[in-house]
Chains A and B, each alone.
Chain A
């Protein structure tokens, strides 16, 4: 996946299940952030409300640490989306099941 290291999604799972698909894998998404880094547009759709914001910092003890800034947003059409910025590799992703 573009902009994200394999480790961020691979983790500690063994090679025996490598071929299986992952549930809720992140997908690249186009985000226009504001000056404070919060999303203003997601896939060209205007963000109406940012409901929540949180950080996930994990696996910092490994060679493939995870550092993400998540936003739970409501778009102008009323749909909800959860997007995050990968703060190590850069790039925006959307994710379900968060």
Chain B
């Protein structure tokens, strides 16, 4: 069985650990700088006053004038989440961390240890700690487990039997499905209000109307979820920190500080000759907030220049002067060698590599980031009429 432990509003709870008195008052997680002014998770007191997560900030403050906006603290949230994952791992669970506040694991290996799936889930909730109000769900499939955890009350375990999965999912709201807001609204306008109604539609029609995302949501709604649970690799514990005597806002100085951190991190004896696979750069900001960016390297390496080039642009995203800069190696490769190519790729393999590269560019630049040049009038004497840039669909 796949189990899911969920902590709703995890980022807000993590940010409130430094200000526990706010937990009982109307409070909401403030949007990050540069993002749309929509509030994040809210406290129960704010909910009682009519505030809803995802509301526009102005609307939320008009609804509840005493609402306190809590600044995001991604670094503290990441640290708290890591502590929870480690407690779960210590209890014997091989965790597959989704977003912050959501973790999956297979119960098969631990059922005998704890005397059944329910007892194992109760142990998992205890490992997380009741202060976080975690809830657990288990089912044959990953999505059904997530849905069960969403439905469970704080501290409760909800197990859905395989044969009852579709029946269980049917009355649940569409908000549970990984669908864009616009698509969800489109479905609601068509009269589809819950997961069961979506599952009842013909798959081809859903795919035609809503595209691949819609088709995937439809598959999930029918309980056909192929998502596997894979235990995470043990995190590398290589951290380098630089504290500044006074707040630094100058990008050049920060780049120099980053260069020092990179040198120190790569020089750590514990790394051996292994390459970096995943790194995180975080900062403590003036005023108590924090900033964090995680980067999975396309190809593992351990060259200082490349790492500086990969991380340097992230510094431009900092939202304020920095008191402390931290560089973490989150994942290292197992081996110390680098696989070289024996035969140069060609044909289908080369095409596949090219497609893969283009997909990555598209993922980082958004729609329209990858274009094809289409000649339309190569004979024209007017240069801009000779060719068009057309966005690539694949």
Determine whether the beta carbon of B389 is less than 8 Å from that of A23: yes
For B373-386 the 0/1 string (1 means CB < 8 A from A) is 11011001111111
Determine whether the beta carbon of A56 is less than 8 Å from that of B382: yes
Contact of B390 among A20, A24, A25, A98 (CB under 8 A): A20
B387 at the interface (CB under 8 A from A): yes
User: CA A21 – CA B392 in complex, angstroms?
Assistant: 12
B371 at the interface (CB under 8 A from A): yes
User: CA A23 – CA B389 in complex, angstroms?
Assistant: 6
Determine whether the beta carbon of A17 is less than 8 Å from that of B376: yes
A83 at the interface (CB under 8 A from B): no
Determine whether the beta carbon of B384 is less than 8 Å from that of A24: yes
Determine whether the beta carbon of B390 is less than 8 Å from that of A66: no
Contact of A9 among B371, B373, B376, B384 (CB under 8 A): B384
Closest CB in chain B relative to A28 CB, distance in Å: 14
Inter-chain contacts of A59 with B (CB < 8 A): 382
Determine whether the beta carbon of B388 is less than 8 Å from that of A23: yes
Determine whether the beta carbon of B386 is less than 8 Å from that of A23: yes
User: CA A8 – CA B383 in complex, angstroms?
Assistant: 11
Q: A20-B391, A21-B371 are in contact. Are A13 and B385 (CB under 8 A)?
A: yes
A53 at the interface (CB under 8 A from B): no
Determine whether the beta carbon of A24 is less than 8 Å from that of B388: no
Residue in chain A with minimal CB distance to B390: A20
Determine whether the beta carbon of B382 is less than 8 Å from that of A21: no
Interface residues of A in 10-47 (CB under 8 A from B): 11-13, 17, 20-26
Closest CB in chain A relative to B376 CB, distance in Å: 6
Inter-chain contacts of B389 with A (CB < 8 A): 20-23
Contact of A95 among B371, B374, B380, B383 (CB under 8 A): B383
Closest CB in chain B relative to A81 CB, distance in Å: 14
Residue in chain A with minimal CB distance to B375: A23
Residue in chain A with minimal CB distance to B373: A23
Closest CB in chain B relative to A61 CB, distance in Å: 14
Closest CB in chain B relative to A29 CB, distance in Å: 15
Residue in chain B with minimal CB distance to A21: B389
Inter-chain contacts of A9 with B (CB < 8 A): 382, 384-385
Inter-chain contacts of A20 with B (CB < 8 A): 374, 388-391
Contact surface of A with B, Cβ cutoff 8 Å: 8-9, 11-13, 17, 20-26, 56, 58-59, 66, 95-98
> What are 26 A-B residue pairs whose CB atoms fall within 8 Å in the complex?
A9-B385, A11-B380, A11-B382, A13-B376, A13-B388, A17-B388, A17-B390, A20-B389, A20-B390, A21-B371, A21-B388, A21-B389, A22-B384, A22-B388, A22-B389, A23-B373, A23-B384, A23-B387, A24-B383, A24-B384, A25-B384, A26-B384, A58-B380, A58-B381, A59-B382, A97-B386
